[in-house]
Amino acid sequence: MTSWPWFGGWTTLPQSGSAVDAGRRLVAAGAERRKVDLESRAGEVGLLALGQGGAVVLNQGGEPSSGSDPGTGRWHRLRGRDRAALVGLAALLVAAFTLAGADRMSGPAAGTTPTATATPLAAAPETATPSLQPSPTSTPTSSPTALDSPSPDPTPVPTVGPTPAPVVTPRPTPKPATPKPATPAPTPPPETTGWVTVVSDSFNSGGLPGHWASYNGPYGSGPRNCAIPSHAVVSGGYLHLLMSYETEGPCGADWYTAGLVLRGYSSIDQRVTVRFRIINDGVASHYIIPMRWPDGNSSWPAGGEEDFCESDTSSGCTTFLHYGSSNSQKYHSYSVDLSQWHTLRFERANNVVRAYIDDMATPVWTYQGTSSTLPATLKHVVLQQECHADGCPSGTTGTEDIQIDWITVENPA
């Protein structure tokens, strides 16, 4: 570094570095200390060139000044006032040239002519050292508030009042539907705890008792079935039910049988006991001894039918219990030689059917039914003889005699 006299003091200049930076620092320092009359000094000096190795002073003719000493990097003292003026002027010129070059690079604003303003030099204090002061910080100017645009009034918020309670329109209370009267269940018959005999026929004499009614004419149990009263007779201590061929009768020349209906002793529960045998002479019938048939013929088969001993032969028989509109059946078969005398009892009480053969203390079959399988309808006793389902015998000879020794009918006590 090299110290230079600066208007009564010494200023240190760098021997190398950026000439532009050095000039700018000198301009700032000189402006703060004093203003120099640039125009009055410009004619006295030619140009101060600052190089990388030191400083060279040129006179107005462009030749180096004889006052420099390159070996030491220092200046010989010029005449007092001239030397100080020369140094300051050179610094100012360098700074001015540098700033002008910067302005040429950036260019002037369009339409404007740059004007140089001379700044007079003022006397500086003799011992003061220049210091760089920061440029004053400009206070930002707040944007003006527009007064000609009035702020809109705030939109009023509607006051929400209490929500009124909804008005409930009372609905009329619906009247309960009048229930349809339920179909009453059939009243069950009273429980049978004992029996009372209502019919007891031994057929010893006097003919056919009046409570029996004979079939007379055709009947619908099968084709060609036809009965006449003269085939149901009492004789020799027995009731005879006879099957034989007749040359005349309600059905013409044909096979005739017998059938009897007990009148006046109908009941739901009932017990029937009969002692009988079957004598076949060349032909055989289809028989039901005994049967219980519903009083109202129109109620069959839903009203039920109880065929206690039904068969086509004398070697055995079967009990058939008919019920329901589709003529359903419950049944049970017995092996018994009915060509011989046997006593058979059939008892229906409290939806139970019991069958006895010869031993009246021990049933050979017990059926626990229901009100469906044993409909609670009034029924009466029937003794029936008829042709087979496939028809009557093809010839005209032969007989069958069902002999009934006695019969009893009991109703609940």
Mind listing the pLDDT tens digit for each residue in 206-244?
899 999 999 999 987 777 899 999 999 999 999 999 999
**Domain containing 340 — which CATH number?**
2.60.120.200
Mind listing the pLDDT tens digit for each residue in 50-91?
333 334 444 444 444 444 444 444 444 444 555 555 556 666
114 domain residue, yes or no: no
167 domain residue, yes or no: no
Are residues 355 and 218 part of one domain? yes
> Residues of the chain with pLDDT > 90: what percent?
50
What's the predicted TM-score (pTM) here?
A: 0.56
Are residues 215 and 85 part of one domain? no
Residue 279: domain span: 195-412
3-state DSSP call for residue 2?
strand
Domain boundary among 105, 138, 162: 105
pLDDT of residue 176: 55
Calculate the average pLDDT of the chain: 74
315 domain residue, yes or no: yes
Average pLDDT over residues 323-348: 97
Other CB atoms within a 10 A radius of the CB of residue 213 amount to 14
| Better pLDDT: 51 or 343 | 343
119 domain residue, yes or no: no
Distance CA 322, CA 374 (A): 8
DSSP 202-263: --SSSSS-TTEEE--EE-TTSTT-EE-GGGEEEETTEEEEEEEEESSSTTSSEEEB-EEEE-
Contacts of residue 159, Cβ cutoff 8 Å, sequence gap at least 6: none
Tokens 């009932």 correspond to what residue?
Answer: 270
Are residues 210 and 344 part of one domain? yes
Are residues 385 and 260 part of one domain? yes
Domain boundary among 105, 129, 160: 105
| Better pLDDT: 153 or 125 | 153
Distance CA 21, CA 95 (A): 9
Are residues 359 and 249 part of one domain? yes
Mind listing the pLDDT tens digit for each residue in 247-298?
999 999 999 999 999 999 999 999 999 999 999 999 999 999 999 999 988 7
Domain boundary among 83, 105, 127: 105
Considering its fold, how many domains does the chain have in total?
2
189 domain residue, yes or no: no
405 domain residue, yes or no: yes
Are residues 199 and 101 part of one domain? no
| Better pLDDT: 33 or 75 | 33
pLDDT of residue 299: 84
| Better pLDDT: 339 or 88 | 339
Distance CA 405, CA 202 (A): 6
Which parts of 253-372 are beta strand (E)? 254-256, 259-262, 270-281, 286-294, 305-311, 316-323, 328-335, 342-349, 352-357, 365-368
Are residues 400 and 255 part of one domain? yes
- The yes-or-no verdict on residue 33 having pLDDT over 60 is no
Are residues 405 and 256 part of one domain? yes
